[in-house]
Amino acid sequence: MIAFGYRDARLHADELPLERLAEAVGTPFYCTSLSAVERTYGAIVEAFQGLDVSVCYALKANSNLAVLRSLAKLGAGADVVSEGELRLALAAGIPAERIVFAGVGKTERELAFALDSGIAQINVESFPELALLDRVAQARGRTAPVALRINPDVDARTHEKISTGKAENKFGIEIDRAAEAARLAHSLPGIALKGLAVHIGSQLTELQPFRSAFERMAELFRALKAEGLPLSELDLGGGLGIPYQDEAPPHLGDYADMIREVCGGLGARLQIEPGRAMVGNAGLLVSRVIYVKEGAARRFLIIDAAMNDLIRPPLYDAWHDVMPLREPPPGAPLAPVDIVGPICETGDTLARQRPLPPLEAGDLLAICSTGAYVSVMASSYNSRPLAPEVVVRGGDWAVVRPRQSFEELIGRDRLPDWLEESGASDRQRAVEGVA
């Protein structure tokens, strides 16, 4: 796993022992290696040398401002799916001309803000969205730069909840109506048709679905160009997977070579939008054992991280490796345990029947490959404050998102006037822990 490994029997993030970070910030906490993110970005850029390719990081994977600023300084663009993500990208220093706005349900407000921001491209996913964007652009005296996201009806062969390129999925314009949509877009005064876009899903572990989708897009691109439509951009989306357990995702070089073969002769400027592949293995979640419980049928490690901190196992039955922060000695006995959190649901199970060495209350664990789709999906369910986020680079570290306080958690709510009375003093006692 990139950036994390044992040294002197202690698990380190870059040059830092994670036990030291746990002592400083408490548990649970997220840890991201910025050096790992930067190395992966560099490897992606190198793999596409010689091709006209823009690398736009998909913020939905991990929108931490420190991650975004690191990538902005390296020249990365951004793929965003909400006004909030667009504002984050701009705040991180990613220039508007390197930002693509995707997503199936953009609102009128979001489209207006995107236009006012001067972003590079809006990926339109339906005929109604195209009509709305045309009206918004004309009302603002602007012309919207557009790529049409096409649904190629290709099975990504990934988890059904993160597959986006099949005919029954909500995303994109069906490929049989792509030419109709392109002609309409080109005729609208508020629209500047630039290209086509596709994204068939996330966590793909083989090249063939990519190839099938890209071949269909290349054929469509050529046909529309032959009609005289002004296409110059082909957005190939993201979706390249990472190893969580025993997956063997395509090598970056093989992925890039396939794109060269299929799309290299189109005369199009290409865009790719990696998210998980960029950050997934650059992060982990550190947690402490609260209790070891001997159940009637199973042994449980009850830890202080929970499904509100890591929703992927309950939501997707996802696998994440688990490592003790202290390296087990050679030949240490292993026994299966269920790793569970304190939330009042049986679904709050983060790993089942994992062979681990003997652990006790107070011991520390790292849950691996949590750099993508983890902290961004966290919640305060069971009124649990959001865990802090720490970034490391070499021997440096910083808390970049502090642990949410109980005052902040309770302060999100407002009482109506007719319930106020003594409510303010009651809330203050709750925050201060006074009975």
Q: Both 307 and 164 in a single domain? A: no
The Cβ of residue 368 has, within 10 Å, a number of other Cβ atoms equal to 20
The Cβ of residue 424 has, within 10 Å, a number of other Cβ atoms equal to 10
Pair 374, 285: CB distance under 8 Å = yes
The Cβ of residue 225 has, within 10 Å, a number of other Cβ atoms equal to 15
Q: Residues for the chain: how many in total?
A: 435
SS (H, E, C) 88-137: HHHHCCCCHHHEEECCCCCCHHHHHHHHHHCCCEEEECCHHHHHHHHHHH
Residue that finishes a domain, picked among 220, 245, 272: 272
Instruction: Tell me the per-residue pLDDT of 102-144, one tens digit each, with 9 for 90 and over.
Output: 999 999 999 999 999 999 999 999 999 999 999 999 999 999 9
Q: What is the mean pLDDT of the chain?
A: 93
Query: What's 291's domain CATH number?
Result: 2.40.37.10
What pLDDT band is residue 63 in, cutting at 50, 70 and 90? very high
Helix (H), strand (E) at residue 429:
helix 423-432
Residue 304 to residue 225: CA distance in whole angstroms: 57
Q: Note whether residue 77 is domain-resident.
A: no
Residue 270 burial by CB count (10 A; 0-12/13-18/19+): exposed, middle or buried? Answer: buried
Residue 347 to residue 340: CA distance in whole angstroms: 9
Q: Both 107 and 248 in a single domain? A: yes
Question: How many domains does the structure of the chain reveal?
Answer: 2
The contacts of residue 191 (CB under 8 Å, 6+ apart) are 130, 133, 134, 137, 143, 144, 146, 185
Q: Both 263 and 293 in a single domain? A: no
Residues recognised as catalytic: 344
Instruction: Tell me the per-residue pLDDT of 407-429, one tens digit each, with 9 for 90 and over.
Output: 999 999 999 999 987 655 666 66
Q: Which domain holds residue 151?
A: 103-272
Instruction: Specify the pTM.
Output: 0.92
Q: Note whether residue 216 is domain-resident.
A: yes
Q: Both 122 and 264 in a single domain? A: yes
Q: Note whether residue 118 is domain-resident.
A: yes
Question: Buried (b) or exposed (e) across 391-409, using 16+ Cβ within 10 A?
Answer: bbbeeebeebbebbeeeee
Tell me: pLDDT of 206 over 80. yes
Residue 114 to residue 99: CA distance in whole angstroms: 9
Q: Both 141 and 208 in a single domain? A: yes
Pair 360, 324: CB distance under 8 Å = no
Tell me: pLDDT of 159 over 80. no
Tell me: pLDDT of 176 over 90. yes
Q: Both 221 and 297 in a single domain? A: no
Instruction: Tell me the per-residue pLDDT of 329-378, one tens digit each, with 9 for 90 and over.
Output: 999 999 999 999 999 999 999 999 999 999 999 999 999 999 999 999 99
Q: Note whether residue 229 is domain-resident.
A: yes
Query: What's 186's domain CATH number?
Result: 3.20.20.10
Instruction: Tell me the per-residue pLDDT of 267-280, one tens digit each, with 9 for 90 and over.
Output: 999 999 999 999 99
Distance of CA 339 to the CA centre of its chain: 24
Residue 108 to residue 96: CA distance in whole angstroms: 19
